[in-house]
């Protein structure tokens, strides 16, 4: 498959990885809406929400809770918006969940945020 998120999941394209297990990969968005803007993608290609089975949905949201806790701890984020891709509006047709922390702080470069999360 020639999908950007599939290539990132396979390690063919580098990313700022925040979390990984056998089923999902979470990484920082390279065009963040706020500091810590993270995407969670299943490693298996699913075009959109309608293709996900209940187990992977549950797992994605369990991982989202871990990521939110990390963002709270490392970036002092206090609020979050979670939204999934919508087939008609997303450039990449691979299901992904956005975790966008609420912040009034100036957006820093992704590498600086990544270093804060890893320390």
For residue range 95-117, what is the model confidence (pLDDT) as tens digits? Answer: 999 999 997 778 889 999 999 99
User: Which among 42, 2, 1 has a CA at the least distance from the CA of 20?
Assistant: 42
Phi, psi of 57 (to 5 degrees): -60, -50
Question: For residue 99, what are the contacts with CB-CB under 8 A and spacing of at least 6?
Answer: 36, 37, 38, 39, 40, 64, 67, 68, 71, 80, 81, 82
Active-site option among 37, 59, 94, 96: 96
The CATH architecture one would assign to domain 4-118 is: 2-Layer Sandwich (3.30)
Q: How far apart are CA 74 and CA 52, in angstroms?
A: 31
Per-domain residue ranges of the chain: 4-118
Query: Would residue 94 show up in a list of annotated catalytic residues for this protein?
Result: no
Q: How far apart are CA 66 and CA 99, in angstroms?
A: 11
* Residues 27-86 pLDDT 10s: 999 999 999 999 999 999 999 888 999 999 999 999 999 999 999 999 999 899 999 876
């Amino acid at each position: 498959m020639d999908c950007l998120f599939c290539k990132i999941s396979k390690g063919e394209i580098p990313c700022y990885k925040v979390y990984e297990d056998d089923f999902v990969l979470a990484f920082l968005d390279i065009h963040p809406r706020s500091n810590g803007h993270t995407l969670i993608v299943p490693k298996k290609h699913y075009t959109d929400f309608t293709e996900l089975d209940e187990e992977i949905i549950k797992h994605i949201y369990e991982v989202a809770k871990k990521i939110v806790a990390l963002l709270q701890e490392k970036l002092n984020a206090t609020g979050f918006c979670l939204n999934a891709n919508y087939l008609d509006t997303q450039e990449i047709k691979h299901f992904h969940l956005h975790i966008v922390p609420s912040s009034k702080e100036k957006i820093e470069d992704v590498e600086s945020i990544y270093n804060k999360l890893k320390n």
